[in-house]
């Protein structure tokens, strides 16, 4: 049975391997120590919300939300920054359950909505669209990197 919980500092050690695998998926070097430190900082500063999927108490996936703002709407929005399900647990509805929990949390907090971005080749796009996310066709996203 899949259970989705709102994680806190007591769950960091369960999240570390998942976030590390997620980073490796995006061509980053594995570094569980840096992941652990990053999570401690996010939780201690109350900068993110993490939902953790457990199957029979075993961590199988997570999603991480960050708060942002819409000046136009004069409301808060969540950035769904991370969504990951371990390879061995894909196809079981865990991603959908995590996304549904994020949507419920957004409504509960009375935020405007959830935004996300993903790699062009990420097959999760089908899931996002199935669950009501709409692909931007009216704007471009730009990013500047500080080196």
pLDDT tens digits for 81-138? 999 999 999 999 999 999 999 999 999 999 999 999 888 888 888 899 999 889 888 8
Q: Using CA atoms, how far apart are residues 18 and 20, in angstroms rounded to an integer?
A: 5
Cβ atoms of residues 102 and 78 within 8 Å:
yes
| Residue 39: CATH number of its domain | 3.40.630.30
- Is pTM beyond 0.75 here? yes
Q: Give the count of domains, the chain.
A: 1
Flag whether 141 is in a domain. Answer: no
Domain residues for the domain of 86 are: 2-130
Within a domain: 14: yes
- Give whole-number Cα distances, 71 to 67, 98, 104, 111, in Å: 13, 28, 23, 13
Q: What is the rounded CA–CA span in Å between residue 2 and residue 18?
A: 16
């Amino acid at each position: 049975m899949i259970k989705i919980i709102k994680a806190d500092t007591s769950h960091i050690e369960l999240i570390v391997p998942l976030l590390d695998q997620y980073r490796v998926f995006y061509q980053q070097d594995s570094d569980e120590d840096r992941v652990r430190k990053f999570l401690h900082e996010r939780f201690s500063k109350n900068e993110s919300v993490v939902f953790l999927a457990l199957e029979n108490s075993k961590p199988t996936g997570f999603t991480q939300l960050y708060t942002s703002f819409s000046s136009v709407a004069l409301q808060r929005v969540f950035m769904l920054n991370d969504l990951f399900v371990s390879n061995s647990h894909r196809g079981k509805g865990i991603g959908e359950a995590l996304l549904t929990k994020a949507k419920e949390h957004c409504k509960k907090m009375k935020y405007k909505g959830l935004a996300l971005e993903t790699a062009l080749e990420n097959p999760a796009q089908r899931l996002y669209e199935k669950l009501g996310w709409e692909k931007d066709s009216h704007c471009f996203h730009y990013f500047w990197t500080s080196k």
